[in-house]
Amino acid sequence: MHTSLTEHARCLYDDAYTPTTACGRDHHEQYFVEELTFADADSILAMLRGLGPHVVEGRLPVWIRNLVYRLLLLQRPDDPALMREAADSLHLHGPYWDDIAADLRARADALEASAQFE
């Protein structure tokens, strides 16, 4: 059994920077996605930070990475730094999401601007 979301991701997708120990289980992406879906923001962030340090070089599939940031932003909708990180990830993985990335950056700027006036 995996003890964390990070360990589960490492078993399923491997990690270019940390050796992966075989856990002896069959791996099905749907089980990881189910675990991810109900994980708290801290666990999801720990997984992102615990896997390979470079977004472009990471082995997490792009669709999983997009889902990760979507779930994080649903749990932390007022976090401008996280919005910018999600925007950077979207921007790096293709032009398809450039409009969404621009919107996230604009929302982050607006949040920071409103926080200055409080």
Q: Give the domain extent around 98.
A: 77-118
Q: Are residues 57 and 91 in the same domain?
A: no
Q: Is 14 left (phi over 0), alpha (psi -120 to 50) or beta?
A: left
On whether residue 108 sits in a domain, the answer given is yes
On whether residue 66 sits in a domain, the answer given is no
In degrees and rounded to multiples of 5, residue 79 shows phi and psi of -110, 95
62-69 contacts at long range (C-beta below 8 A, 24 or more positions apart): 62/93, 62/94, 64/13, 64/33, 64/36, 65/89, 65/93, 66/90, 66/93, 66/97, 67/33, 67/36, 68/36, 68/44
Does residue 74 or residue 51 have the better pLDDT?
Answer: 74
Q: Are residues 101 and 51 in the same domain?
A: no
On whether residue 35 sits in a domain, the answer given is yes
Which range, of 8-12, 14-18, 78-82, 103-107, averages the lowest pLDDT? 14-18
Domain count, the chain: 2
Q: Are residues 1 and 37 in the same domain?
A: yes
Q: Are residues 56 and 18 in the same domain?
A: yes
| Domain C-terminal end among 33, 61, 89 | 61
Nearest to 47 by CA among 73, 21, 72: 72
pTM for the predicted model, two decimal places:
0.86
Model confidence pLDDT, tens digit, residues 22-58: 666 667 889 899 999 999 999 999 998 888 665 555 6
On whether residue 70 sits in a domain, the answer given is no
pLDDT exceeds 70 at position 17: no
Rounded Cα distance between 51 and 18, Å, is 8
